[in-house]
Amino acid sequence: MQFSFQQGGWGASLADRLVRKCDVLNRGFSGYNTRWAKIILPRLIRKGNSLDIPVAVTIFFGANDSALKDENPKQHIPLEEYAANLKSMVQYLKSVDIPENRVILITPTPLCETAWEEQCIIQGCKLNRLNSVVGEYANACLQVAQDCGTDVLDLWTLMQ
């Protein structure tokens, strides 16, 4: 996530725990969905980079993809396309010599609808996401991980 290296962020905490063991690189893009991420992935990770093969690559999408089509058509991605985009990203990584056992998919997190609705109202829009819909995207992420042979961090279930 783009902001994970801010003070107290999980990216900063992870980098601190792994200091002198490995570098933690963040390529988060706030507001992106899998359609946009799939397009820019080849610019971020290429075959033959000067860096060693990563110990792990995480793919963490679904919150924006699961936005309601009628309320947030810019970010919404249909469920089937979301799954296909995740598979495409895993396949791309494999094509640049990052094996699937080094790829970790992360499910979208549950949504607190009341808190999200308050933010939507502040921004002058209607509630544009539902927890039940996010759950469908989390399940799709789990299925993609199984299909692709990757590990998965199921934040959806862990945070329920």
Q: What is the pLDDT of residues 22-31, one digit of tens each?
A: 777 777 788 8
Q: Which residue has the higher pLDDT, 14 or 125?
A: 125
Residue in the structure block whose two tokens are 């980098």: 15
* 67, 129 Cβ separation under 8 angstroms: yes
For residues 111 and 96, give the distance between their C-alpha atoms in angstroms, rounded to a whole number: 34
- 81-129 per-position pLDDT tens digit: 999 999 999 999 999 999 899 999 999 999 999 999 999 999 999 999 9
Full set of structural domains in the chain with CATH: 31-153 (3.40.50.1110)
d(CA 134, CA 29): 19
pLDDT digits (tens, 9 = 90+) for 37-54: 999 999 988 887 555 678
pTM for the predicted model, two decimal places: 0.88
pLDDT of 136 higher than 60: yes
Distance of CA 132 to the CA centre of its chain: 18
Angle at 84 between CA 143 and CA 67, to 5 degrees: 85
- E strands present in the chain: 57-60, 103-106, 151-153
pLDDT: which is higher, 8 or 155: 155
CB atoms inside a 10 Å sphere around CB 50: 4
The mean predicted confidence, pLDDT, of the chain is 90
- Residue 115 in 3-state DSSP? helix
**Share of residues in the chain with pLDDT > 70 (%):** 94
Residue 124, SS3?
A: coil
pLDDT value of residue 156: 95
